[in-house]
Amino acid sequence: MTVTRFQDLPLADRDREWDGDAADKRVRAWADAEDEPDAAYRDAHIWYDGDKPDNFTSYKLLIADVVNGRLKAVPRGIMAAGNVMQGARGGIDLPKDEIGRVKAHLARYYEKMGDTPPWDR
């Protein structure tokens, strides 16, 4: 189990719509990860199950999409992930000892957006 390394992805426009399913399809195509996940696919997520890295369902908290051929963090995707994490475990199954690291990772993107994470408000 592991939190992905902070990528410091460029931000997409703040008003860009967020559709996680559509973003996942674009990220898979961009990363050439349509058969199985790879490192580029992993970079679009905050967390993945390191014991099962070849399983797409191991990847959680997608925050990025492909915009004009580039992987970018989408503010509304970051906010969606933040809302999930606001409730501590937030409806996704993460190890308790990794929640703080996930929140710290997300907090760096909130800071980049000039915002405060929902759990700090």
Distance CA 76, CA 64 (A): 10
Beta strands in 6-117 (DSSP E): 45-48, 59-62, 64-67, 70-73
Contact call for residues 27 and 62 (beta carbons, < 8 A): yes
* Inter-residue long-range contacts of 33-37, CB under 8 Å, 24+ positions, other chains counted: none
Cα dihedral sign for 77, 80, 86, 88?
negative
The pLDDT averaged over each successive group of 10 residues in the chain (121 residues) is 92 97 98 96 96 95 97 97 74 85 96 94 85
Any residues with CB less than 8 A from the CB of 16 and at least 6 apart, and which? 65, 67, 74, 75, 76
The pLDDT score that the predictor gives to residue 57 is 93
pTM as predicted: 0.93
pLDDT given for residue 115 in this prediction: 96
The contacts of residue 59 (CB under 8 Å, 6+ apart) are 37, 41, 42, 45, 47, 48, 49
Q: Which contiguous run of DSSP H or E holds residue 76?
A: helix 75-86
In this prediction, residue 89 carries a pLDDT of 46
